[in-house]
Amino acid sequence: MGAAGAAKGTDPNAEVIVFTEYEDTSYSPCGIPYVHGQEIASFESLFMATKQHYVDQGIDIRYETAVTSIDVKAKTVTASDGTVERYDSLVLATGFNYADPGVPGGDLGGIYYVKNIRQAMEWDKVLDTVKTAVVDEATPLGTEMVTALAHRGIETHLVDPAPWAMSMATDPDIMQPVEESWVEMGAKLHFKTKVTGFVGKGGKLTKVTTSEGDIPADLAVVATKKEPNTAVAVAAGIKTGMSGGLIVDGRMRTSAPGVYAAGDCTEIPHGVSNVPIQGLSGSHAYAQGKVAGTNAAGGSREYQAVYVPWGMVAGKWMIGGVSFSETLATALGLPFITGMAQGISRARYYPDVKPVKVKLLAEPEHLRLIGAQLVGGEGIKERADFLAMAVRTGITINDLATMENVYSPPIGALNEPIALAAQNALTKVRS
């Protein structure tokens, strides 16, 4: 919808058609775990615009109508209702599918793939009856869902093959307080454990089998890795890259003339490593959609390499970061030094002061920041945004160690935790 709006904004006379397999557009799927967790009262608040809004904008949306094939030579798409539409420009925004757990029983009742809001509304009623749930994999969605289900009072088991949660982006020292808080919330953690099967009775899940034993459960949330949904594009001969996402250039153009792509179906080079990565955030998808839609309608915009700030609530904490963890940098063979600090968010004597732990990674030669992780009680998102810009613009830990900071008892401590972590890194450089 970001692409459609940008296209119409660029050329108000353009005919803009949107195909979607779903009944709705323009709601916030990111809000679904928080309705399940009962932090948000209802699904209705997740909708951003009415269907009439798009009619008024002159955007022609074909609901419940998926594109089933693309002819890149004829410049046509064929939809599930048999319609054929010619295009001058086509934007692919086909998103992701969860990686198949690849185990028996995946089609049983009681197995939940979080995605569509209408289905989420139905599942939310089911949650009222659920006693025990298994969340398969501590991905970002898995992390949100464990938190949500535990908050709702369901006995929740998290199963993940890695030794700690969110291991693709985090280090264990950052996740330790999160895992402790999950245990406090009643969740059971099964790390270094693989789901090996779903077992049911009368077509309905009764237990999840794992490499470390069985877990009786009446719900399983499959939160495996997101894989780019590229089947229709690949069938049309459009090229994918090493991560499996559609290859795009800075203008979000694919390998086919006039065909753009945006969001989870693409891959985008990481600004530090130049390795194409896939499965970014909703804000990335939206920004890419705007670039693709602008260019598709004859405008000119460039998308940049990404550094991927991330953040979320996990258990009783906020976590966040940017680019490389120590674990990931080590796996990739990137040299680095680290700096670590345990700081606070306000004056130590001010009510509701929260801990803020910061870990920084810098490349050893010029001391440019290449990664960060944070865990704390407030100000995590804003710091992650800052540190993402720092990585992108080549800011060093020398710069961060001497950063000025706001000190005011209700909103900021004398010593900014980022500066303390950078100062800690410098002690290692000097020694």
Radius of gyration of the chain (CA): 23
Number of C-alpha atoms within 13 angstroms, CB side, residue 308? Answer: 23
Identify which of residues 126 and 411 has a Cβ nearer to a second copy in the complex: 411
What count of Cα atoms within 13 Å lies in the side-chain half-sphere of residue 319?
A: 24
DSSP 100: P
For the CB of residue 224, give the shortest distance to a second copy in the complex, in Å.
20
Number of C-beta neighbours around residue 230 at 10 A: 25
Taking CA atoms, 233 is separated from 61, 155, 212, 256, in Å, by 20, 41, 39, 10
Say how far apart CA 225 and CA 241 lie, in whole Å.
17
Nearer to a second copy, 183 or 414 (CB): 414
CA distance 101 to 121: 24
Q: Which is nearer to a second copy, 242 or 389 (CB)?
A: 389
Q: Which is nearer to a second copy, 308 or 370 (CB)?
A: 308
**Nearest distance from C-beta of residue 266 to a second copy, angstroms:** 15
Q: Tell me the closest approach of the beta carbon of residue 98 to a second copy, in angstroms.
A: 19
The least CB distance from residue 307 to a second copy, in Å, is 6
Q: Which is nearer to a second copy, 109 or 282 (CB)?
A: 282
Length of the chain: 431
**Whose Cβ is closer to a second copy: residue 101's or residue 263's?**
263
- For residues 27 and 282, the answer to whether their CB atoms sit within 8 Å is no
> Strands 59-62 and 16-19: what pairing?
parallel
Q: Which is nearer to a second copy, 105 or 379 (CB)?
A: 379
Report in angstroms how near the CB of residue 164 gets to a second copy at its nearest. Answer: 20
Question: Nearest-CA neighbor of 66 among 80, 46, 76, 52?
Answer: 80
Considering the complex, state which of residue 37 and residue 105 has its C-beta at the smaller distance from a second copy. Answer: 37
Burial class (CB in 10 A: 0-12, 13-18, 19+), 80: middle
Complex with a second copy: residue 186 or 282, whichever CB lies closer:
282
Nearest distance from C-beta of residue 300 to a second copy, angstroms: 11
Are 206 and 97 in contact by the 8 Å Cβ rule? The answer is: no
| Nearer residue to a second copy within complex by CB, 1 or 159 | 1
- Sole residue written with tokens 């005919």: 15
User: In this structure, is the dihedral angle defined by the CA atoms of residues 318, 322, 328 and 329, taken in order, positive or negative?
Assistant: negative
For a second copy, the closer of residues 218 and 416 by Cβ is 416
CB 264 within 8 A of CB 279: yes
Min separation Cβ 15 and a second copy, Å? 26
User: For residues 361 and 324, is the Cβ–Cβ distance under 8 A?
Assistant: yes
CB of 40 to a second copy, least distance (A): 6
Least CB distance to a second copy at residue 117 (A): 12
Compute the distance between CA of residue 148 and CA of residue 38 in angstroms, rounded to an integer. 8
CA dist 165 and 195 (Å) reads 15
Q: Report the run of H or E that residue 4 belongs to, with start and end.
A: helix 2-10
Q: What's the closest the beta carbon of residue 237 comes to a second copy, in angstroms?
A: 31
Q: Are 276 and 267 in contact (CB under 8 A)?
A: yes
Packed helices 172-184 and 140-151: angle between N→C axes, nearest 10 degrees: 20
CB of 386 to a second copy, least distance (A): 4
With beta carbons less than 8 A apart as the criterion, state whether 239 and 231 touch: no
Binding residues for a second copy, rule: CB under 8 A, are 28, 30-31, 34, 39-40, 45-46, 281-284, 286-287, 304, 306-313, 318, 320, 347, 349-351, 378-386, 388-390, 392-393, 395, 399-400, 402-412, 414-416, 418
